[in-house]
Structure 1
Amino acid sequence: MLKAASIKRCALPRGPASAGTLYSKRFGSSFGTAIETAEKMVQPGVSNPFDPFSMVSAEMGVLAKHIAQLIGSGHPVLNRVASYYFEAEGKNVRPLIVLLLSKALAKIPDEERTRIIIDQYDVNDQPEFKGTPKAFSFAGANPLQSITPLKILHGINPNIILNPLSRPMIDQDAYVTLDKKNGILPKQRRLAEITEMIHTASLLHDDVIDFADSRRGRDSGNIAFSNKMAILAGDFLLGRASVSLGRLRNSEVVELMSTAIANLVEGEFMQLKNTVLQPDTKSIDNDGQSKKIPEPTGKVPVKVHEYSVNPLNTISHQDNVNAAFEYYLHKTYLKTASLMSKSSRSTAILAGCNENIIENCYQFGRNLGLCFQIVDDMLDYTTTAELLGKPAGADLKLGLATAPVLYAWKEKPELGPLIARKFSQPGDVEIAKTTVDVTKGVEKTRELAEQYRNDALKNLRHLPDSDARSALELLTNSVLTRSK
């Protein structure tokens, strides 16, 4: 787990020399060149031969269509709500990462794939790995095929209902042929779709929890349909994603992605109840009213979270800040970076890569995910609702202490009581914003995001040189420079 006290920010000096040039001197030419090349890619007016979206345009172009067919239901209103967020223009970063990683990993020589036999790129053709019993190698090599008989899945004759689980999205031969041509395995493409389904389900739930009124430039799901329908649609998406996940027929990937779903919930609870800054674990805030939590009966052991051991007023200010940063970064991992890191690791597992590549894919997703959310938290202070496609300045109004205000608190201890009461009193939000400006909290947050960006680029250097890896480098840099 990351501790704020141990964070060493790599602040890049400004001036004539580029960051890439400076890093060439500091870390070696290979890594410095990667940063310098990627920096040039994101400069306005510079031709970009490694555009991430163009490289997988065929797959991204049909992403929403394929997902819509996966999540279709026999109920027309459920169809409408479940597909609502896929209609709008989203960033689609998560499936993009999976697809680009898939293409980059395709360049690894067969002899370096320790989890795969040459020319047998499917888990059903592989020998058992690390004691995995043959019971997990189900019949059928294609992720479009069901494991359980359809009449059992549906509980009704599948021929008389319109249900996506009863028919393939496209011709299976065409599906396999297309992906083989593009260097993407069918199961990796399906993983990209599953990842976006899980993410979108979390958005539907988050918007209800956060009382959001807009998402992707239009009414949020809870406003357009109602809280109940938005929650149910999110649950339905997770159910459909779980079915598709099982059809990948890889128990390790199922374990990873299922854990990512649980992490999303854990992260949301950490955000709802900050046990560092609000150490009372016996009550919760319920629409502005304090509500006592029922006492445990003792039948089920309930552990006290490690973050809540020391009350706010019994340790030093520096220890408080360090604990708050540790809590913030862990919450950020769970809410955002977990899905990116575990889907990246799953991509490498499905490609049969060796342990070093699998670990670097995981760390790449983790570092990129942390960078992505930290930038998101920074943009909440610096951009407009029109650019974001969702309410700007919402974090403070929701009582959230993200990196900019935590950096401000580090220099201004008097901000602590405002953070502890979640900026709930009149004038608290305005005071916090002013303090962030005075202490340069946004600038320090950018430096923190740069650190994770640089670490993600280092992870990519373990992959073979390819156009897809260059596109991932560009994507990594663009996360830091985005405005929405």
Structure 2
Amino acid sequence: MALSRSSSTSASTFKTAVETAEKLVQPQSSSTFHDPFSIVSHEMSNLAKSIANLIGSGHPTLNRVSSYYFEAEGKNVRPLIVLLLSKSLAAIPIEQRNRIKIDTYDVTNQPHYNGTPTETVVAGNSVDDSISPLAILHGINPRVILDPLSKPMDKLPEFDAMNGILPKQRRLAEIVEMIHTASLLHDDVIDLSDSRRGRPSGNIAFTNKMAVLAGDFLLGRASVAIARLRNPEVIELLSTTIANLVEGEFMQLKNTVMSNDSQSIVNDGEKKVIPEPTGKVPTKQHEYSVSTPAEVDHITNVDAAFEYYLHKTYLKTASLMSKSSRAAAVLSGAHDDIIENCYEFGRNLGLCFQIVDDMLDYTASDATFGKPSQADLKLGLATAPILFAWKEQPELGELIARKFSEPGDVEIARNAVKKYSGLEKTREMAHEYCYKALQNLRVLPESDARSALEFLTNSVLTRNK
């Protein structure tokens, strides 16, 4: 399979998929509906403006850094998935939404589903209402009663009534993008990146310290918005995604810089011994984990390395997609089977998305990718293409174990990937996850929104950035 064929067509297909999907989360009566480009601009502008209202601080420089990545043109795939999935869920008859009780504020123009009389409303109240007094939240008595932590988007109720997306689902989409953007700020510092979305990365444009603090601030603001959803299950899901992102990054760090003895790390070429635990704070690894390649056999066990790679990929990328998809279904009141398939859809799509990303790292140019390409091998990361080559050429295990650190290692690895069709096999793996994601969507009623999700899912395979 020729991976380089019609790269411009691939880019166009993915862009068309996003534009088509974005049109479907617009109100049908919008005067701009006849102009697809203005519709895309309008939706993205509202998303960015709404997020800006959520992240405002009392410090102008902090506002500047925390909003920096929202200014550039990003894929915005994660919030788009939440919005389209929410619209697809709206096609389920209200009497079949028996998972939780839905309050009148959430349902907008739909009939009120009462549920079991003994249940309590867990979804209630506006996403824009604070739970604690504002003077306490801000630590100051403002001259004007204003809540910069959350302000409603213009004409939001009318939008929701027309397109079937609940207010809490729309806020969920905004929260997801905030969490994702915070992870980008942190990742660029960790990976020493110098570009993101076609311009200097946050750590370069400002400083490492400011980028880290801005990422922390975004997570803090996201946490406030999460709490205001007032749904314990959704709060638990979204809070876990933040922990998952950190776990995944640690797995990648270990895969990059950890020594085989797991008792030391290599930082900037210098070996540093990890402090021994004192025993005052007992810690144990939870059962939902995988063995590291070093714990099994860091040179010969390819299967263990693949398991490690896929779990890391889930934590870093698919967790946010899967748990936000599940949260959208929970907020809709859908029953357990729908909720589970929404979760699996996000999981499979997230794995597909990242696997394609890992493949593009070998094939895309810096200008197309929007960030440095061919970086994984230089960072010592063993992703799917080189793992497939490792299966055919066992001696690559030694290069992977030393993180491609010796002269010529990166070139040897790239040649092996080409020789043993590592990219083609990686694409086949992505196809499998894409197919599973499409099957998960089949549990939803047929609708334009579901068709858009299917189109978007298929286009992930053909994108080139």
TM range (shorter): 0.7 to 0.9
Question: Is it true that 1:392 corresponds to 2:370 in the alignment?
Answer: no
Q: Matches of 1:401 and 1:73 in 2, distance apart?
A: 40
Residue identity in the other structure for 1:393: Q
Count the aligned residue pairs: 438
| Code of the aligned partner of 1:159 | R
| Structure 1 residue 182: Cα displacement | 1.1
Aligned counterpart, 1:380: 361
- Residue of structure 1 in register with 2:246 after alignment: 265
Aligned partners of 1:263 and 1:334 also within 8 Å: yes
Q: Could you list the runs of 5+ residues in structure 2 that have no partner in the other structure?
A: 2-8, 26-39
5 Å-filtered alignment, 1:182-201, equals 182-201=163-182
How far apart, CA to CA, are the structure 1 residues paired with 2:213 and 2:458?
A: 36
CA contact (8 A) 2:101 2:115 kept: no
Does structure 1 residue 219 correspond to structure 2 residue 188?
no
1:55 counterpart = 2:36: no
C-alpha displacement at 1:303, in angstroms? Answer: 3.5
Cα distance in 2 for partners of 1:396, 1:280 equals 22
Q: 1:292 to 1:119 in 2, by over 3 A?
A: closer
Kindly provide the amino acid, as one letter, of the partner of residue 71 in structure 1.
Answer: I
Q: Distance in 2 between matches of 1:291 and 1:257?
A: 34
Shift in alpha-carbon separation, 1:41–1:269, aligned structure 2, 3 A? closer
Change (3 A) 1:72 1:130: farther
The residue that corresponds to 2:151 in the other structure is 168
- For residue 461 of structure 2, give the secondary structure of its aligned residue in structure 1: helix
Distance, in Å, in 2 between the alignment partners of 1:200 and 1:50 is 21
CA distance in 1, matches of 2:102, 2:189: 48
Determine the structure 1 residue equivalent to 2:455.
474
What is the match of residue 134 of structure 2? 150
Match of 1:251 in 2: 232
Q: What is residue 327 of structure 1 aligned with on the other side?
A: 308
Q: CA deviation at 1:275?
A: 9.5
Is contact 1:385–1:391 with CA below 8 Å preserved after alignment? Answer: yes
1:276·1:327 contact (CA, 8 Å) conserved in 2?
A: no
Q: SS of the residue aligned with 1:387? A: helix
1:401 aligns with 2:382: yes
Preserved contact between residue 408 and residue 435 of structure 1 (Cα < 8 Å):
yes
Within the alignment, does 1:113 sit opposite 2:97 as a pair? yes
Matched, 1:241 2:241: no
CA gap of 1:119–1:220, structure 2 versus 1, over 3 A, is closer
Give the counterpart letter for 1:152 in structure 2. I
Partner of 2:60: 76
Query: What displacement does 1:152 show?
Result: 1.1
How far apart, CA to CA, are the structure 2 residues paired with 1:144 and 1:74? Answer: 19
Q: Is the 8 A contact 2:249 2:316 kept in 1?
A: yes
Query: Which whole-Å CA distance do the structure 1 matches of 2:276 and 2:57 have between them?
Result: 41
AA paired with 1:168?
K
C-alpha displacement of 1:159: 3.4
CA–CA distance in structure 2, aligned partners of residues 330 and 83 of structure 1: 31
Please give the secondary structure, in 1, of the residue aligned with 2:265. strand
Question: Which secondary structure does the structure 1 equivalent of 2:309 belong to?
Answer: helix
What are the Cα deviations for residues 45-91 of structure 1, in whole angstroms up to 9, with x where unaligned?
9x989911221255444101111111011111000000000000000
- Which aligned runs of 4 or more in structure 1 are off by greater than 6 angstroms? 40-45, 47-50, 125-132
Structure-to-structure mapping, 1:88-99, within 5 angstroms: 88-99=72-83
Asked if 1:64 is matched to 2:33, the reply is no
- Distance of aligned partners of 1:144 and 1:161 in 2 relative to their CA distance in 1, 3 Å threshold: closer
Structure 1 pair 161/95, CA: closer, same or farther in 2 (3 Å)? same
Counterpart code for 1:370: L
Residue 273 (structure 1) shift: 0.3
Contact 2:257-2:265 within 8 A present in 1 as well: no
Q: Is structure 2 residue 403 aligned with structure 1 residue 417?
A: no
Residues 275 and 307, structure 1, Cα contact 8 Å, conserved in 2? no
Alpha carbons of 1:117 and 1:425: their partners in 2 closer, same or farther (altered >3 Å)?
Answer: closer
Q: Which consecutive unaligned segments of at least 5 residues does structure 1 have?
A: 1-11, 13-39
Change (3 A) 1:129 1:368: farther
Judging changes above 3 Å, is the alpha-carbon distance between structure 1 residues 141 and 205 closer, same or farther for their aligned structure 2 residues? same
The letter of the residue matching 2:343 is Y
Shift, 1:301, TM fit: 2.5
Match of 1:291 in 2: 272
Is 1:461 matched with 2:442? yes
Q: Over aligned residues, Cα RMSD in angstroms?
A: 3.1
Matched, 1:442 2:423: yes
Deviation at 1:302, TM superposition (A): 3.6
Number of the residue aligned with 1:85 = 69
Displacement of 1:157 after TM fit? 1.2
Q: Indicate conservation of the 8 Å contact 2:438/2:454, yes or no.
A: yes
2:33 is aligned to none
Q: Is the 8 A contact 2:361 2:376 kept in 1?
A: yes
Distance 2:317 2:331 in 1: 22
Per the TM alignment, residue 42 of structure 1 is displaced from its structure 2 partner at its CA by 9.8
Amino acid at match of 2:135: K
Instruction: Give distance in 2, aligned partners of 1:293 and 1:159.
Output: 50
